[in-house]
Amino acid sequence: MAREFTSVGVVGLGTMGAGIVEVFARNGIDVVAVEISAAAVERGRATLTGSTDRAVAKGKLAEADRDALLARIDWQVGLDALHSVDLVIEAVPEHLDLKQRIFAELDRVCKPEAILATNTSSLSVTEISVATTRPNQVIGIHFFNPAPVMKLVEVVRTVVTSADVVADVEALCARLGKVDVTISDRAGFIANALLFGYLNHAVGLFESRYATREDIDAAMKLGCGLPMGPLALMDLIGLDTAYEILDTMYRRGGRDRRHAPVPLIKQMVTAGLLGRKSGRGFYTYERPGSPVVVPDEHTPVSTGAALADGARAIAKVGVVGSGTMATGIIEVFAKAGYEVISVTRGAEKSAKVCEAVKTSLNKGVVRGKLSEDDRDAALGRVTWSATLDHLADVDLVVEAVVEELSVKKALFASLDEICKPGVVLATTTSSLPVIDVAMATQRPADVIGLHFFNPAPIMPLVEIVRTIRTSAETAATARAVCAGLGKTGVVCGDRSGFIVNALLFPYLNDAVKMLEASYSTADDIDHAMKLGCGYPMGPFELLDVVGLDVSLAIQRELYLELREPGFAPAPLLEHLVTAGYLGRKSGRGFRDHTKR
C-alpha cells in the first residue's frame, strides 16, 4: 500500500510554488507554505489568492471550496516550520548551490521518513540529493506551469531513489488528478529536453533574420497547431530562465549544440529584456507582467494598401498537378473568386481531379460551410485541361507536381516558354531549393515558393519563400494573393525546411533519439508533450501520421544542407523505414495500427 500523505511542505512561493500549494490544498491535503521572508510569503499568498479568486469568478471553484482550500494552508517563514510534514517540494530558482543548501537544511529539519522532492526542470536531482544523508528518499516531482491547470508531472528517480518512494509519489500524483511519467535523472527530462532545443532553434532563425518574430510564431501556431509560437513562449517562460535551462542541458547533456544557447538570448538577458515579466523580450508588453502585446518599432505594417503595395493584379491562375495538394489548391483559388485553369497529364487525370474537387465542395455544402450557389460558382470558374499551352494568358502559375527536382525544373523551363512576361511562377515544394527551380527559367525574379499545407482548403498557413533572385514585386504579389485567399502568408528565405519543417522535424528526430536511448516510452513521451506543452499530438503520433519515410527524407535534407550534427537522422528512424514500417499508411510505424 502507498503511504498516505496528510501534510506537505512547499518551499518557494513564486508562480510555480504558489501553484503547487494550490494543487495540494485543492485536493484536501494540508500544506505548510514556506518562504524566506514575511514579504515573500505575502507575495505568494497574493498569487494564490488571485488564482483562486479567478477560478471562482469563472465558475470553476465554489466560494465554499475556495475558503476550505485557503484554510488548509499554513503560511510560514523559515524551513523549521516543516518539521512534521510527510513530503517537501522545493520550488526555488534554478541554482544548484541554492537547492543543495536548502536540501541540507531540510535533511536536518524534517522527520527521518519524510520524502524530499525538487521541482527542478533541468538540474541534476542526483546532485541535489547528495547534499542530504537520505539520497534514497530524494526524488524529482516536476510540475508544469500553471500547476493547477497542467495535467503532467514528471517523476524523476535517481539511481538510488527507493522504489517505495517512487511508488508513493506515483500514487500521490494520481490522487492529485495528474498524469505522471516516471523517468531517470537526465538533463531536461522529457519535455524540456525536447522543447528547449526547438525554442533555441527558433531564436537562431530570428537572430539570423531568416524570418520575422511574427512570421516564425504564426508559422508554428498555424502550421502545427501549437498553442503559442516559440518566441512568444520564450517571453512567457522568461529569457533568463530559458538561458539557465539551455545552459544546464548543454553542460549536462553531452554538450549537444542544439542546446547551446543562441548568443542573442544571453545578450537580451544582459540588457534586461527578459520577456513578459520585464515588459519586453522578443515582443513589447503593455507593462511588466502583462500578457498584452503592444506595437513597437519592429511591428510590421500588415494590412490594406501596404500589403498590396507593388503587387501585380492577379485574376487568372493556373494550377499544374493532379495530386491531393493540387486538388486542394484549385478549390482554394476557385472559392476565393479566381478564374482557374487546371492542367494535368491527360484527360483521365483531369476527370479525377474534377471529381475530387466536386466531392470536396459538396462536403462543404453538406456541412453548411458553403451554399449550393457558391459551390456551383466555384466549379464554374475552373477550366480543365491536359496541356500547358492553355496557361499562355494566366497571371499566376502554381506548380504542385511530384517532389523531384528534375521534374520541376523541366516544368518551369516549359512554363518560361509558354507564359507571358510578368507572370508569377510559384512552386509548392516543401523541401527542394526554390532557386534551383527558378534558374531553370530566364525569369528567376518572377519565381517564388508558395508552400501550402495539407489539406489546403483547411490549413490557414502559406510559407512564401523568397530566393536571392526573387523581386520585391513578386514577393508583394504573393503576399497579396495569400491575403486574398484568406490565408496567413509568412515570408522566409530559400533554406531547407523553410520555417515549419526546419523547426518541427529536428524536434521529432530528437524524440526518436530519446526513445532509441531507452530513456522513456513512446507513450510517455507523447503524454509529456501533449499534457506538459499543450501540443495537439505527441511526436510519435505525428510521425506515424506524416509517414516515417517522408519524415526521414525531410530530416536528411536538413542535415545535408545545414551539416549540423544534431540534425543527423536517428538510426531508429532509418531502420523502421528500411523495414517498411512507415506509419499509418503501412499499418505500422512507432505503433501497430492494424489492431486499432
- Kindly list the catalytic residues: 121, 142, 154, 192
End-to-end CA distance of the chain: 35
Contact of 506 with 201, CB cutoff 8 Å: yes
DSSP string for residues in 434-481: HHHHHTTSS-GGGEEEEEE-SSTTT--EEEEEE-TT--HHHHHHHHHH
**Would strands 179-184 and 424-427 be described as parallel, antiparallel, or unpaired?**
unpaired
Q: CB atoms < 10 A from the CB of 186, how many? A: 18
Cα–Cα distance for residue pair 360/537, rounded to 1 Å = 25
Cα–Cα distance for residue pair 240/268, rounded to 1 Å = 9
Give the up-direction half-sphere exposure of residue 299: CA atoms within 13 A in the CB hemisphere. 9
**Would strands 115-118 and 461-466 be described as parallel, antiparallel, or unpaired?**
unpaired
SS (H, E, C) 249-274: HHHHCCCCHHHCCCHHHHHHHHCCCC
Cα–Cα distance for residue pair 422/416, rounded to 1 Å = 11
Cα–Cα distance for residue pair 402/326, rounded to 1 Å = 10
Cα angle, residue 108 at apex, residues 105 and 110 outer, rounded to 5°: 100
Cα angle, residue 225 at apex, residues 224 and 229 outer, rounded to 5°: 80
Q: Cell numbers of 326, please?
A: 493540387
Backbone torsion region of residue 515, taken as left when φ is above 0, otherwise alpha when ψ lies between -120 and 50, otherwise beta: alpha
Cα–Cα distance for residue pair 466/450, rounded to 1 Å = 9
Cα–Cα distance for residue pair 528/542, rounded to 1 Å = 14
**Would strands 87-90 and 7-11 be described as parallel, antiparallel, or unpaired?**
parallel
Helix (H, G, I), strand (E, B) or coil at 139: strand
Helix (H, G, I), strand (E, B) or coil at 200: helix
Contact of 591 with 523, CB cutoff 8 Å: no
Contact of 11 with 17, CB cutoff 8 Å: yes
Cα–Cα distance for residue pair 307/477, rounded to 1 Å = 9
Q: CB atoms < 10 A from the CB of 51, how many? A: 20
Cα–Cα distance for residue pair 242/66, rounded to 1 Å = 33
How far does Cα 245 stand from its chain's mean position? 18
